Amino acid sequence: MTYIARICDNASNWQYPTRTATESKDSFHSMHGYGHEEWLFRFEWQISGWQYGFIQGVNKGGENRINRGDRVADVVLYTHSAAGRRYVARIRHLEFLDSAQAAAALEHYKKRGWYDRMLKEIENIGGDRSGLGNDDWASQVLNVRFRPDDLEWYSHDVFAKPGSTVSRNNRYQLVKITDTSELPSTATARRSVRKGQVTPPVQDSYFTSGGPGRECSPEHWMLVTALHERLLEEFPEGLISFEENFVDVMVTTPTQKILYEVKSDYSTRRVLRQAIGQLLEYAYYWDQPDMNQVKLVAVGRTELSTEDERYLRYLKTQLKLPLEYRQIKLPSEA
């Protein structure tokens, strides 16, 4: 599913507020001097490889959309610049956060000092910081997340053509595009690139104590907690450990060792891609255990597709790998 969404104009490539947008007098931006989306591409602010941010179109009706099962989509962003309605970027596999995810992500922002920096940057432009996270405007400071590799930029000279959906839309809302052929091609389509930024990266971070350099998103720990509750029921006599030799979760019984690698991506294909390599290394790089005594389990949020099942079955039957997949939903998805 593909949507378009308007974001306020910004002169810093959406890394911090610049007060350069021209908005109507009754808009949030005009009243407070900034928009919530002005930190959307602050790339040094990532949690376990995920970029969190805010899009006003998701704010409007977001919970209803999530309750209907709409959790991920491709979104094309555009802005009203002085030169016209300009395409900004396309984000593939953009995930919509529910209230629990949004609150957990904001808590990480606060722990790292990023939220305080946002408030300071609002003050730097003479803005009114009381609007940030105000329920009257937007109850969530963060409402989306995406992988930076899924971000595709438009050239700065790509503007909406007369008659297009973007040229007709004035409101900050998600608008579904049924004919994607009207959307122009991005300058960085399907290439793994990162847009440069005008501010130096800030080398501050918040790490878990499980291992050196190991950083996890809020969704990751929600899934680990939910998995732990299931494992306690399934293996009442087993030893359950976390982050032992960097394995997310490991269950040890007298006859078997089960390694679980948890990934919070909404795509099961991505979960398998990321988890399998780690599981193989954790299980076999240092040791060569009996294959019958080891089970490797990739854990994700969604069901396997037909293609996913065929791929996993091939790895198990042809390569004789003791691989399995397990779905564990976030508490809000259960």
**Ranges of each domain in the chain:** 2-182, 218-327
Angle (nearest 5°) at CA 15 between 9 and 19: 40
Kindly indicate the confidence band of residue 197, based on its pLDDT and cuts at 50, 70 and 90: very low
| Residue 235 CB coordination number (10 Å) | 15
pLDDT at 245 over 70: yes
Read off the pLDDT of each residue in 5-28 and give the average, rounded to a whole number.
92
pLDDT at position 243: 87
Q: How far, in Å, CA of 204 to CA of 207, rounded?
A: 10
Name the band, by pLDDT with cuts 50, 70 and 90, for residue 146.
very high
The pTM assigned to this predicted structure is 0.81
Rounded Cα distance, 104 and 107, in Å? 5
Q: How much of the chain, in percent, has pLDDT values that exceed 90?
A: 72
Q: What value does the mean pLDDT take over residues 236-259?
A: 92
Higher pLDDT, residue 250 or 196: 250
Q: Is the confidence at residue 262, as pLDDT, over 90? A: yes
Closest CA to 90 of 155, 33, 21, 29: 155
Segment 210-221 mean pLDDT: 67
pLDDT tier for residue 170 given thresholds of 50, 70 and 90: confident
Beginning with the edge strand found earlier in the chain, give each strand of the sheet holding 247-252 in spatial order: 239-244, 247-252, 257-262, 294-300, 323-327
Q: How confident is the model at residue 202 (pLDDT cuts 50, 70, 90)?
A: very low
Contact between 203 and 37 under an 8 Å Cβ cutoff? The reply is no
CA distance 20 to 159: 19
* Rounded-to-5 percentages of helix, strand, coil across the chain: 30, 20, 45
CATH C-level class of 218-327? alpha beta
Least confident of 59-63, 80-84, 122-126, 201-205: 201-205
Whether 60 shows a pLDDT value over 90: the answer reads no
Calculate mean pLDDT across residues 20-38: 90
pLDDT bracket for residue 285 (50, 70, 90):
confident
Residue with the two structure tokens 């087993």: 238
- Helix H or strand E segment including 110: helix 99-112
Q: What is the pLDDT of residue 69?
A: 74
- Report residue 205's pLDDT band, with 50, 70 and 90 as the boundaries: very low
pLDDT category at 215 given cuts 50, 70, 90 is: low
**Average pLDDT for residues 306-330, to the nearest whole number?**
96
- Position 334 scores a pLDDT of 73
Residue 176 has pLDDT above 60, yes or no: yes
Most confident by average pLDDT, 13-27, 74-88, 201-215, 289-303: 74-88
Q: How far apart are CA 252 and CA 281, in angstroms?
A: 18
Which CA distances in Å does 15 have to 117, 198, 297? 12, 8, 38
**Model pLDDT, residue 106:** 96
Residue 113 pLDDT exceeds 50: yes
Report helix, strand or coil for 303. Answer: coil
Give the SS3 label for residue 81. strand
Interstrand relation of 257-262 and 50-53 (parallel, antiparallel or unpaired): unpaired
Cα 33 to Cα 261: distance, rounded to the nearest angstrom: 44
Residues 201 and 192: their CA atoms lie apart, in Å, by 19
Name the average pLDDT for the chain: 88
Between 315 and 334, the higher pLDDT residue: 315
Q: What is the pLDDT of residue 120?
A: 97
The pLDDT > 70 percentage for the chain reads 89
Nearest to 55 by CA among 119, 142, 149: 142
Cα separation of 282 and 299, whole Å? Answer: 15
Q: Residue 291: which pLDDT band, with cuts at 50, 70 and 90?
A: low
